[in-house]
A and B are shown apart, each in its own frame.
Chain A
Amino acid sequence: MITFESVTKRYPGGTVAVDALDLEIPDGQTMVLVGPSGCGKTTSLRMINRLIDPSEGRIMLDGTDISTVEAPRLRRGIGYVIQQAGLFPHRTIEDNIATVPLLEGWNKAKARDRARELMDLVGLDANMARRYPYQLSGGQQQRVGVARALAADPPVLLMDEPFSAVDPIVRSSLQDELIRLQNELHKTVVLVTHDVEEAIKVGDQVAVFYPHGKIAQLDTPQHLLGSPADEYVENFLGFDRGIRRLAFFSAGQLDLETGTVLAADTTVEAARAAAQRCGEPWVLVTDGGNRQPQGWFAVSDLDRQPDRETLGSLSLPLAPLGHTFQVGRDSLRAALDATVLSRTGRAAGVDGDGRVVGITTYERLRAAIQTAEQAGLDGNPDQPAFREGRTTPEAQQAGADDAAEPAGEGVRPS
């Protein structure tokens, strides 16, 4: 646990970077400090490992006032990742990663073994061990930076705008990687960013800073999006926070239509009857055996087809399936996105093997959102919220697989 006790940082000339900050950072969580430049978020971070000393107040790390610990010793117990990695250009990748163990007096062989272990953990190929930083891409360098910070297995990890210097696709995959690592390691992570999307994606808790070194709101990402404390926070979050918030509700809450999910060997007559029973203008055709979705037929088109024919034998073209969403893993946001993009105004929810579970419509989405909002308002704020890609061990696996792909929800046919 890291505790800021009315910490102030005042620079000569009277600029106040951090103003009487009180903050508790619980163990094993990711705390994101976010705000515009000059808001004191970076200063706050750097006070934790004494790169900057506070003018007033004190910072406690697990009950010890950090100003009583010798700075280099304190720092070796706190991992630090900086923008553009800040690798040592004259050291090989393995020696960069082994920096802190070597400072701690490990022997070289043991330190290098540890370095190889970490390369594996952060997804770096072992043949890079003997290369120099200039031979790596920006994204790879940043992975080395993370591995170096974790080398001595510190309980606390400080990350100073760690992903801001890489392109958006690499950034997104590094963020996924951080989430995956954190699921595995449960470090106390403090991450500084000016990117509110990043804060919401990786944070368990997010502290939004005013421009002058005070915290405007400290909350979970879900509550931040749901109830911003004031106009400043609301503006900072951006205009589509309502939709972004849906990322915190599971698509599993949807009451899906199943009556119009029809196998290809269903007769036209039976299909018309099913559609009428459900009051649906579209039916979803699956390939019978393993319920893989194929596409849509409009009920109005089926009216002109012979009763006895099966859906699979019609020469009528199927309306394209569009994107699907995975019921157990994806959020309401993904389901809404798939529905908005679909020509039929409907989207198919599938399970992990791509089998259709059911169909959602705008009406069903609206009902699910309303229920979720209500539960969110009534619910226990300490209860862990649904997070896309990190609910169950199974879902974690899926999240890791996603890391290689560009950001996005659902299936994107190209």
Chain B
Amino acid sequence: MSWAWQNRDQIGHLLASHLYLALLPVLFGIVVAVPVGIMCVRWRWTWPPILSLTSIFYAMPSLALYLVLIAYTGLTDWTVIIPLTLFSLSVLIPNVVDGLRSVPPPVKQAAVAMGFGATRRTIQVELPLAVPVIIAGLRVATVSSISLVSVGQLIGIGGLGYLFTDGEQRDFTTEIWVGLILIILLALLFDGLLVLARRWLTPWEARAPRQERRRVVQVALRGANAGVKGGSI
């Protein structure tokens, strides 16, 4: 750990670049996925070809894509950001589509019957109701992206991934551990932030009442307690 403290400036830099490389693709992803998802729901025939396309993005090995892109974008951040954006899209588009489709039919019908036009209906009714599903997709995309950035280190652009290759070359395990732990912490942090964002955006969702939650916790604790006692005998 003293190593990490001594190298805090370098690690800070790597951390910042890691976040930049990981989050920008998710941002691009959501900005593109929402309109594309809306299109796929509104014009149903567009959905099958786009679904195939997202599957291809998902299946494509990112390393191969980096190598192909070097020819066009060189050794710049874009070489990492573009493949990760495609990966985010492959997660987010189906989520947006599922989210929009999860709106209960009576609610949709009520919106039509109240006199919402198609565009207002999408923006004011369907999209807000799709938020929980969309955020579930964002969590997957964000955590994956934070983890996948380090692969970029194979072409020299990988944020905290540097600590893996450097540690490996110097045969210095501590450095690898520091990289690993930081990436996991980052993933947990952003996942947690998204959970909070969902709570904040969806005050209308039925949640287990506080008492019920407390009861669940108590039951869990009692179980754990019993387990510990059992073990000590």
Nearest B residue to A134, CB-CB = B206
- Which of B104, B120, B129, B203 is in CB contact (< 8 Å) with A103? B120
Chain A residue contacts of B117, Cβ below 8 A = 72
A72-B128 Cα distance, complex, nearest whole Å? 21
**Contact between A87 and B109, CB atoms less than 8 A apart:** no
**Contact between A100 and B114, CB atoms less than 8 A apart:** yes
- Which of A76, A86, A103 is in CB contact (< 8 Å) with B110? A86
Q: Is A90 an interface residue (CB 8 A)?
A: yes
Interface residues of B in 129-149 (CB under 8 A from A): 129
Contact string against B for A residues 76-104, beta-carbon threshold 8 Å, 1 for contact and 0 otherwise = 10001011111111110000000110010
**Contact between B115 and A103, CB atoms less than 8 A apart:** yes
A91-B205 Cα distance, complex, nearest whole Å? 10
**Contact between A99 and B204, CB atoms less than 8 A apart:** no
**Contact between A90 and B114, CB atoms less than 8 A apart:** no
Chain B residue contacts of A386, Cβ below 8 A = none
**Contact between B110 and A80, CB atoms less than 8 A apart:** yes
17 A-B pairs in the complex with CB atoms less than 8 angstroms apart: A51-B112, A72-B116, A73-B115, A75-B113, A83-B106, A85-B106, A86-B106, A88-B111, A88-B125, A90-B204, A99-B114, A100-B115, A103-B115, A103-B120, A132-B204, A134-B204, A148-B114
Interface residues of A in 155-187 (CB under 8 A from B): 158
**Contact between B115 and A89, CB atoms less than 8 A apart:** no
Q: Is A49 an interface residue (CB 8 A)?
A: yes
A80-B202 Cα distance, complex, nearest whole Å? 26
Chain B residues proximal to chain A, CB less than 8 Å = 104, 106-107, 109-117, 120, 125, 128-129, 202-206
A90-B107 Cα distance, complex, nearest whole Å? 11
5 further interface pairs, Cβ-Cβ under 8 Å (given A72-B115, A85-B106, A86-B107): A72-B116, A76-B114, A82-B109, A84-B106, A103-B115
Nearest B residue to A76, CB-CB = B115
Nearest A residue to B128, CB-CB = A90
Q: How many interface residues does A have (CB within 8 Å)?
A: 26
Chain B residue contacts of A80, Cβ below 8 A = 110, 113-114
**Contact between B202 and A82, CB atoms less than 8 A apart:** no
A100-B206 Cα distance, complex, nearest whole Å? 25
**Contact between A89 and B113, CB atoms less than 8 A apart:** no
Nearest A residue to B125, CB-CB = A88
CB distance from B15 to the nearest CB of A (A): 37
A349-B48 Cα distance, complex, nearest whole Å? 73
**Contact between B204 and A82, CB atoms less than 8 A apart:** no
Interface centre among B104, B109, B111 (most CB of A within 10 A): B109
Chain B residue contacts of A148, Cβ below 8 A = 114
CB distance from A303 to the nearest CB of B (A): 68
- Knowing A88-B125, A132-B203, say if A75 contacts B112 (CB, 8 Å): yes
A103-B115 Cα distance, complex, nearest whole Å? 8
Interface residues of A in 34-74 (CB under 8 A from B): 49, 51, 72-74
**Contact between B113 and A103, CB atoms less than 8 A apart:** no
Shortest Cβ-Cβ A-B pairs, 8 listed:
A86-B110, A76-B115, A75-B115, A86-B106, A80-B113, A134-B206, A132-B204, A72-B115
**Contact between A82 and B115, CB atoms less than 8 A apart:** no
Chain B residue contacts of A82, Cβ below 8 A = 106, 109-110, 113
A103-B110 Cα distance, complex, nearest whole Å? 14
